Structure 1
Amino acid sequence: FFSRAALEMLPYIDFKPDIIHANDWQTALVPIYFSIFYADKEFYRGMKTVFTIHNIQYQGKYGKELVEDVLGIPEPSVPLLEYGDCINMVKGAVECANRVTTVSPTYAQEILDPWFAYGLESILQERSWKLSGILNGIDVHVYNPETDEYLYANYTADDPDGKAEDKAELQQRLNLAQEPEAPLVGMVTRMVAAKGLDLLEQAFDRMMQQTNLQFVILGSGDWEYENFFKEMQSRYAGRVCACFGFIPELSHKIYAASDLFLMPSRTEPCGLAQMIALRYGAVPVVRETGGLKDTVTDSGGGKGNGFTFRDYSSDDMLGAVKRAVKGYADRDGWKILMRRGMECDFSWGHSANEYIRLYRSLLKNGK
């Protein structure tokens, strides 16, 4: 009803947009309704629709009985939404929208593959001409180590000394050993399988036994993973701390205190945590997937801003972590790597310009 109302109200408020941009399955009916009921009406003529997929796992699947009674879709248009034995909101939006975007260029390519597409690969392959990826951005005013009020000490890329105080204070708060030379690995994440936590389960003991790192994680999710990290905290007292829930001030403190930031995701459409980590001088260790691949490049050649691994393997993840720990021991080189990351631009200004280019291209080309 919201999607239909958003279109129906436009003449009543005398607002005639050039572009109507809908996001995810919750508003997928907007381009569908527009195509079926409004595109040929005089007031709406010339308007274009864009649909963004943030995570293709969530598609808005429902039984076919909803089509006419609830959604009001006429019988000739039902095939737009049909996919398999149900109706699929995202499928319908992909069919109807003038352009389809995802939240990173790599993810736009990945979802053409059955491994990532959750059953929608065929329709996306057929409509790949209208598909592109634009990275999300972060609020660089909220996430700014120079002014962040949540931090114990502020710092900048030019003067990063405050980061050491943030680390010491967080170690004290979380009952971690006061060891400034031990690299602190942070995670702020949903505790679900897609975030690669099964890799951590497989490699955690080796990671702790083969390095001198400390580890802190903040998040909540599946019982299996919460229980695992509670057990690791008990097993490695003074080196591991697991914090559960959504605690904004603590998340900021973890970004600021961490030397490394781990994201071994199975899939990551865009990812914001690695961008925030870079801004706070926490060097990311990530799997090369989705937005992680587009924002983090391996520093092995002396030019990257983090450490990456390609295969979804606990051995490969552990190898990347060990390379990062070895890099941390080179204090002069580490300062250069930190600064390189802190100077990356992941502001919304860059992303907004990409969307403006997309909108202008759509209006110019007329389809």
Structure 2
Amino acid sequence: MSEKILFIASECTPFVKTGGLADVVGSLPQVLNQKETTEVRVVLPLYQEIRENWSDDLENVHSFPVSVGWRNQEATLYQLTYQGVVYYFIENEYYFTRRGLYGYYDDGERFVFFCQAVIEALSILPFQPNILHGHDWQAGLAMAFAKIQKPIEHLRTVFTIHNIKYQGIMPLDVYHDLFHLPDGHISGLEWNGLLNCMKAGLFHADKITTVSPSYAKEITTPYFGEGLYPIISEREEDVAGIVNGINVDDYNPQTDPHIPYPYSNIEENKNKTIIQEKLGLPVNSKKPLYVTITRLVEQKGLHLIQAIIDEFLQEDVQFVLLGTGDSEFEDYFYHAAERNNDKLVAYLGFDEALARQLYAAADFFVMPSLFEPCGLSQLISLQYKTIPIVRETGGLKDTIRPYNEYTKEGNGFSFTNYNAHDLLHVLQYSLQIFHDQEHWSTILKNIDEGDSYSWTESAKSYHTLYQDML
């Protein structure tokens, strides 16, 4: 049977992005659609940023009413085609004519509307899916509405957890204010006395996926499950962990327009010199360069880096941190860079071109996450022949194999415990390997000959999942 799949998501490259979810929703459909029997389309909110940047490409399909409790809202459906994929956009001026994607007091209501509008749109879409594939909490209620409000015969649902920490929680008393559902359905939406959009997706979807096999196991435990682990444990037979891929055409050091010296193998020294000059570091191609490119939040293991950075910088190394986020971390790294101005640069903001240049210039990429559902940064660093240093959690554990100097196997460095001195130890070990020409050449060769982590294998897993459901 042919697969007609509608992705439901809150962000997607190249339209809008706040994190890795957008990269997945932007790249996976293109690969899935390469199979003749598969067609994937995507539906998103029409945010202000999309309206401003893509208005000339948007085609008005239809307007229709959407009820959000007692509120009578209107949705307008638009579509455009980009790189062979058809995208639909749900417009509503009240909910989505705002700057930014999230962070508003009524985010819960906004995505109640969005999910309700998606289900209402199924009857007018010029495309009739047999699978709805929802991504993260913003799409969780669509899984519920598809089963409760407008059940369609043979329509199947998949719900993907990209990060279980963010769940879309609302007070229980808004149930009658925002939903047209009998009281008997509260139990499928409620968790710990609150309405929980992530719970709605987990409870109602036919199948559940998450973005790496290790994370699929981790979230069945109290430590990683963010309170929802009992539900995932109950549905363990319906849960699959499929590691994310990356767009290897986009992240390609041979063709990347952002880097000064494109390369096909290990030629970063020229790029390292450029970045050292640009950031005001002493120019020395033989000095190891460590980089971290991340959101400055606790999840990314920044407390570990805080604890050991001054001690590690006593070594003959350079370190660049690029990112923005919590003021605690911005303030700390700003002052740490002042203390170590010839070894540490803290670029507090985000610049895509600079990020690509750092991937290309660095010797090591440091990613000591507290938890990491999949992680894309370590996969990008492998593309640019930059050696990842990670903590063994989630997708980091699944994609980075620690280098073994006896068997000569491995594509990076890793440590197990969430402990600052374990991080310091592996950083010091990586420095030792850097100065050993035989081992350094071997690990670079392993990366060059290893898995590219394109979407090809992961897409096969999704095809198998879809076919089994149909």
Contact 1:280-1:342 at 8 Å conserved across structures:
no
Residue by residue over 1:242-261, the C-alpha shift from the partner in whole angstroms, topping out at 9 and shown as x without a partner, is: 10111000000000000000
Residue by residue over 1:171-229, the C-alpha shift from the partner in whole angstroms, topping out at 9 and shown as x without a partner, is: 011111112221100110011111001011111122112x2211001000111111111
2:129 is paired with a residue of what secondary structure? coil
**Map of 1:65 onto structure 2:** 173
Residue by residue over 1:95-114, the C-alpha shift from the partner in whole angstroms, topping out at 9 and shown as x without a partner, is: 11000111111111110111
**Map of 1:274 onto structure 2:** 378
Q: How does 1:37-116 map to 2 (within 5 A)?
A: 37-39=149-151, 44-116=152-224
**Map of 1:329 onto structure 2:** 435
Output the CA distance in 1 between the equivalents of 2:337 and 2:128. Answer: 57
**Map of 2:64 onto structure 1:** none
State yes or no: 1:9 paired with 2:117: no
- Which among 354, 367, 374 is matched to residue 263 of structure 1? 367
The code of the aligned residue for 2:336 comes to M
State yes or no: 1:311 paired with 2:423: no
Shift of 1:9: 2.1
**Map of 1:141 onto structure 2:** 249
Shift of 1:14: 5.3
Output the CA distance in 2 between the equivalents of 1:266 and 1:272. Answer: 15
Q: How does 1:1-367 map to 2 (within 5 A)?
A: 1-13=113-125, 15-39=127-151, 44-157=152-265, 160-161=266-267, 163-209=268-314, 211-300=315-404, 301-343=407-449, 344-363=451-470
Output the CA distance in 1 between the equivalents of 2:311 and 2:207. Answer: 46
- Name which structure has the greater RCO, CA cutoff 8 Å, separation 6+: 1
Shift of 1:4: 1.9
Contact 1:26-1:60 at 8 Å conserved across structures:
yes
Output the CA distance in 1 between the equivalents of 2:287 and 2:452. Answer: 29
| Worse-matched range after superposition: 292-301 or 2-11 | 2-11
1:115 is paired with a residue of what secondary structure? coil
Contact 1:256-1:282 at 8 Å conserved across structures:
yes
Shift of 1:336: 2.8
Structure 1: gaps spanning 5 or more residues: none
Contact 2:366-2:390 at 8 Å conserved across structures:
yes
Q: Percent identity?
A: 39
Contact 2:382-2:452 at 8 Å conserved across structures:
no
Shift of 1:360: 1.1
Shift of 1:308: 0.4
Residue by residue over 1:344-367, the C-alpha shift from the partner in whole angstroms, topping out at 9 and shown as x without a partner, is: 22112222221111111222xxxx
- The structure-2 alpha-carbon separation of the partners of 1:14 and 1:154, relative to structure 1 and needing over 3 Å to count, comes to closer
| Worse-matched range after superposition: 329-338 or 246-255 | 329-338
The code of the aligned residue for 1:311 comes to N
Aligned CA-pair RMSD: 1.2
Output the CA distance in 2 between the equivalents of 1:229 and 1:13. Answer: 50
Q: Which has more strand, going by share of residues? A: 2
Structure 2: gaps spanning 5 or more residues: 1-112
The code of the aligned residue for 2:403 comes to S
1:186 is paired with a residue of what secondary structure? strand
Residue-pair matches, total: 355
Output the CA distance in 2 between the equivalents of 1:222 and 1:10. Answer: 40
1:261 is paired with a residue of what secondary structure? strand
| Worse-matched range after superposition: 272-281 or 297-306 | 297-306
Q: Which has more helix, going by share of residues? A: 1
Output the CA distance in 1 between the equivalents of 2:163 and 2:448. Answer: 27
**TM-score, length basis structure 1:** 0.94
Residue by residue over 1:241-288, the C-alpha shift from the partner in whole angstroms, topping out at 9 and shown as x without a partner, is: 110111000000000000000000000111000000011011000000
Residue by residue over 1:265-319, the C-alpha shift from the partner in whole angstroms, topping out at 9 and shown as x without a partner, is: 0001110000000110110000000110011010124211000000000111111
Output the CA distance in 2 between the equivalents of 1:248 and 1:164. Answer: 20
